[in-house]
A and B are shown apart, each in its own frame.
Chain A
Amino acid sequence: MILNSPMKKYMFKRILFSIFSLLVVVMLVMLLVFSLIERSVIFQQDDVWNKRNNNDRSMYEYAQYQKYGYLTYVDYSSFLREKYIGLYGDEYDKEADFIKDRSVIQKPDEYLNNETVQEFKAKYEAEGYVIKYLEPVKYKSGKQKPGGSGYLVAVQEKSVVLRLWDYVKGFFTVETTRSVDDPNLEDRYIHFEKDPYSGLFAVTGSGTTHKYLLYFDGHFPFIHQNFIHINLGTSFTTYRGQEITTVINTPTGGLDPVKQQYPNKIGTDEYVDTAIDFHSLTYNPNTTEAERELYSDNYTTASFRQKGLSMLETSFVIGIISIIIAYSVGLPLGILVARRKDKLADKLGNAYIIFIMSVPALAYIFLFAAIGTSLFNLPYKFANSTNKVLAYFLPVISLALPQIGSLMKWMRRYMIDQMNSDYVKFARAEGMSEKEIYRIHISKNALIYLVHGIPGAVLFCLTGAIMTERVYGVPGVGNLLTTAINKHDNGVIVACTVFYTSLSILAIILGDVLLAKYDPRISLSSEGGGGR
């Protein structure tokens, strides 16, 4: 058992605190991006905004602000439409009442006397909206300016708390048999069945958004689930309308068609070459008969199979390889230079450490790139290299070498720290050889200081490396946050915040657990006072 009982209690507390601090961080970031930063900058390069004038431009701004998540607004005309559809059906726009109510807002003097306007005002003011009247803009001649027609809108700025609540509410979506809101669908279930595409079993559902809830396939991590869907946030500008989790998880290569069968054709010999990923089928209420012929049910919307790694995977692969290299080279080198303190090896090691620490990251990344491309003929730009394996070399080396330097530095420092401790003298007096003392006694004690950082190092591979990825043109997640900030993609900013913050919190918790496992003097418990 990894965790004992007081530790469980402690971890529970830690996780609660973590969630709380995560919420606080999200709230602060929301306050920052939605309230403190000037919002009109989003229209700087917007052509539609430039073309529109007067009240039309204001209405477009409201629409955009709502899209970016700054506020919610209701237009009087849509209120009007809904009201008259209820009263007269589809032919509502021919009714005299409707025409009268619609045209009244073009008359600034009398619109307030209109009953429907009063109804609109009363309804939305009660809900906390602010009613704004955009007066018709006219030339002196009385003719309306372009885009100058009058509007009546109810606007509500979202408070930070409400915004946070909405975000948290939409964070997890759990699949149930009631997920699909279609009265025609009667057969609702979740059950095991044999998966014709993998040959293994799968959990499938009807009435759920996804058809396959748990399935196996040949792609990492081989077992996939659709029970719980996590929505970190939605992109507004950079990846129009897509969820961030989808963006970073979708492979970036081209379509990958394979020979396969439509669900309804299984058992027959009708094969098609298609890139449709039948495991990703979702419910489509507007399924046509032709589609039903192929799919046998209403689950007809699917994503496509794509080649290559997703952004997240690319960053992680580069990061994890560099970390494995860094730890497997840096730690032994640190031990070596500590043993050879003040000898030639130590001096060379120190020279390397000082080089890596003093030269700016960008400078040595370009240096490695120059050396790698000229001396070893390695591909420079990731995207247009033909050999995909060779393309990983330079980014990995550029990430690993600085980490080797820093690991060497710390390992050397802690080894030297431990070299003069009493237990080393005692071990010598027991007759152990210097080699054994270094290998067994000192290095284990010196590693105590480094163990805590290992989970963090692994987890932070997921955030990508901004500079390295830029220089080598790696399609990773490193640029996500900077691009989002540049483009005022508030959804992505919040999503990145949540992602990075939870990684940090997780890294620290895992580091503490690992440290407690490694160092017997440390125990995690909320009671306090473990050892002496």
Chain B
Amino acid sequence: MADKEELKKTSVPGEKTAEKPKKKTSYISAKESRRITKFNRKITKKLEHDREEAGKDPAYYTTKMRDPNNVVEFDNMCTYFFSDVGTVKAVDGISFDVPKCSTVGVVGESGCGKSVTSLSLMQLLQRPSGQTVGGEIRLNMGDGTALNIVNTPVEKMQELRGNSISMIFQEPMTALNPVFRIGRQVNEVIELHNPEMTEEQVKARTMEMLELVGIANKEGVYEMYPHELSGGMRQRVCIAIALACRPGLIIADEPTTALDVTIQAQILDLLQNLKDKINSSIMLITHDLGVVAGMADYVVVMYAGRVIEKGTADDIFHHPAHPYTIGLMKSKPVVGKKVEALYNIPGAVPNPVDMPNYCYFRDRCEMHCEHCSGKYPPEIRISDTHVVSCYRYFDEGEVLGYPKTVDVEELLNG
């Protein structure tokens, strides 16, 4: 115990602590607020301009996959929100791959950047305030080339959305347009991406999709309106729409959070089966470790906008390496094990506007060491498939590289 106290004291002198302690309040002076607004306007204008320029020539957004067996590669992707209280680094230099025909689970607590990652991949961020400012997202086009989603123009993205990548949302109750019949809504996406198909073909495909997602009364459902279906049925319809064009990647953003547990299992089963049927990958975003354990081949653990650990499901669940992951594993209830109270990780996530420049988890970490007060930890490979960002493995593992962040001031001037 005494050692730990000692350690804490010695670990304090970092770069940050030399400065005077920051005010804890969220108060911003009028002057500061004006400065932020002005800065935001400038930088978003520049970024939008850059994007428009980049979108003009396919050379700017066509790249090559690092590994052709991946569907999507995130490479140091940074997505920032230029908000009225400052720049929120929602996702700051994350790198992970989604291999073909596999399920990648992205887990983390609320606000850690899971959804922003998926929205960046779809280019569905709320622009102009939300911008992917750095890094690459490479989407495998299947013909040896790849697209860098970050620079892809909107028109091209519209072709990809629903066709190569599609998304299933959390809320099936409201995801369907209430005033159109189910059949029309499924038809719509098929027609959109297959303009050469005739009306009969489209309807046949719709029927096929409805059957595929396990809707028994497909003829009836075709003519129904969303409000006439239950939540589970609506999620099936959403899945049918998402899968109608056989996408290479399905992003499932908490697809079962709004459903009850029995339906949850059915929907996940369905997703898993359909994935195998149409040879696509799933990027499963959830905060439910049970769902990830049951479905994912690979798991990416995110914390405060960064990937802290990634590996196969076995790596993460049976050999968690990062203190946060270890904490997560400890905090889930286990059947047959009696505990007084469930473990919880102390402290809270740091303020996204003003991130520390040491390990984000240090202040909550029970295992932190001297190194931890230094630079943000690099990615360290501790086995063939297992990568973790923690100084505890600095000496034994292979250091892969530090996450690259983007200096927004520099971006504006450079």
Question: Interface of A with B (CB < 8 Å)?
Answer: 421-423, 425-433, 441, 444-445, 448, 518-521, 531-532
Contacts and interface: CB of A to CB of B under 8 A. Distances in A.
Contact of B225 (A426, A445, A448, A521): A521
Given A425-B124, A531-B228, A431 B175 contact: no
Contacts of A431: 157-163, 189, 192-193
Interface stretch (B165-173, B199-207, B348-356, B373-381): B165-173
Interface stretch (B93-101, B176-184, B280-288): B176-184
A421 B124 contact: no
A252 B188 CA distance: 55
B66 interface: no
A441 B155 CA distance: 19
B179 A430 contact: no
A448 B169 CA distance: 25
A423 B227 contact: no
Contacts of B124: 425, 428-429
Contacts of A423: 174-178
A451 to B, nearest CB: 11
Contact of A448 (B176, B179, B180): B179
Contacts of A433: 155, 158
B166 A430 contact: yes
Nearest to B179: A444
B176 to A, nearest CB: 6
A433 B159 CA distance: 9
Interface string B47-88: 000000000000000000000000000000000000000000
Give the residue among A426, A445, A532 with the most B Cβ atoms within 10 A.
A426
A192 to B, nearest CB: 46
A444 B189 CA distance: 18
Given A422-B174, A430-B188, A445 B179 contact: yes
Interface of B: 122, 124, 155, 157-163, 166-167, 169, 171, 174-181, 188-189, 192-193, 225, 227-228, 238, 241-242
Given A431-B158, A431-B193, A433-B158, A426 B227 contact: no
B162 A531 contact: no
A521 B193 contact: no
A521 B227 CA distance: 7
6 contacts: A423-B174, A425-B124, A426-B169, A426-B175, A427-B177, A444-B177
Contact of A520 (B169, B174, B225): B225
Contacts of B166: 429-430
Contacts of B189: 430-431
Contacts of A441: 177, 180
Given A425-B124, A521-B225, A430 B174 contact: no
A457 B169 CA distance: 40
Given A431-B157, A431-B158, A520-B181, 18 more contacts: A421-B174, A422-B169, A422-B175, A423-B175, A425-B124, A426-B241, A428-B124, A428-B161, A429-B122, A429-B161, A429-B162, A430-B166, A430-B192, A430-B241, A520-B178, A531-B227, A531-B228, A532-B227
A520 B167 contact: no
A428 B179 CA distance: 17
Nearest to B167: A429
Nearest to A521: B227
Contacts of B122: 428-429
Contacts of B155: 433
A245 B155 CA distance: 61
Contacts of B162: 429-432
Contacts of B163: 431
Nearest to B118: A429
A429 B158 contact: no
B296 to A, nearest CB: 22
Nearest to B164: A431
A417 to B, nearest CB: 13
6 A-B pairs closest in CB distance:
A431-B161, A431-B162, A430-B162, A422-B174, A429-B167, A520-B225
B326 to A, nearest CB: 35
Contacts of B157: 431
A445 to B, nearest CB: 6
B339 to A, nearest CB: 38
B179 A520 contact: yes
A414 to B, nearest CB: 13
A196 to B, nearest CB: 54
Given A422-B171, A519-B179, A432 B227 contact: no
Contacts of A430: 161-162, 166, 188-189, 192, 241-242
A399 to B, nearest CB: 31
A518 B238 CA distance: 23
A191 B163 CA distance: 70
A532 B228 CA distance: 7
A521 B179 CA distance: 8
Contacts of A428: 122, 124, 161
Nearest to B166: A429
A293 to B, nearest CB: 68
A76 to B, nearest CB: 74
B227 A425 contact: no
A441 B179 CA distance: 9
Nearest to A422: B174
A408 to B, nearest CB: 22
Contacts of B238: 426
Nearest to A437: B177
A531 B179 CA distance: 13
Contacts of A518: 179
B169 A425 contact: yes
B185 to A, nearest CB: 9
A425 B171 CA distance: 11
Given A428-B124, A428-B161, A430-B189, A520 B177 contact: no
Nearest to B159: A431
A246 B176 CA distance: 54
Contacts of B227: 520-521, 531-532
A432 B158 contact: yes
A433 B193 CA distance: 12
B271 to A, nearest CB: 16
A519 B226 CA distance: 12
B147 to A, nearest CB: 14
Contacts of A422: 169, 171, 174-175
Contacts of B171: 422
Contacts of B179: 444-445, 448, 518-521
A426 B168 CA distance: 8
A420 to B, nearest CB: 9
B334 to A, nearest CB: 35
B306 to A, nearest CB: 25
A46 B155 CA distance: 80
A335 to B, nearest CB: 16
Nearest to A532: B227
A191 to B, nearest CB: 50
A521 B173 CA distance: 13
Contacts of B158: 431-433
A131 to B, nearest CB: 70
Nearest to B192: A431
Contacts of A425: 124, 169, 175
A423 B181 CA distance: 13
Nearest to A530: B227
B176 A432 contact: no
Contacts of B192: 430-432
A519 B178 CA distance: 8
A426 B155 CA distance: 17
B115 to A, nearest CB: 11
Contacts of B174: 421-423
Contacts of B228: 531
A431 B159 CA distance: 6
Contacts of B225: 520-521
A98 B161 CA distance: 105
Contacts of A532: 227
Nearest to B241: A430
Contacts of B161: 428-431
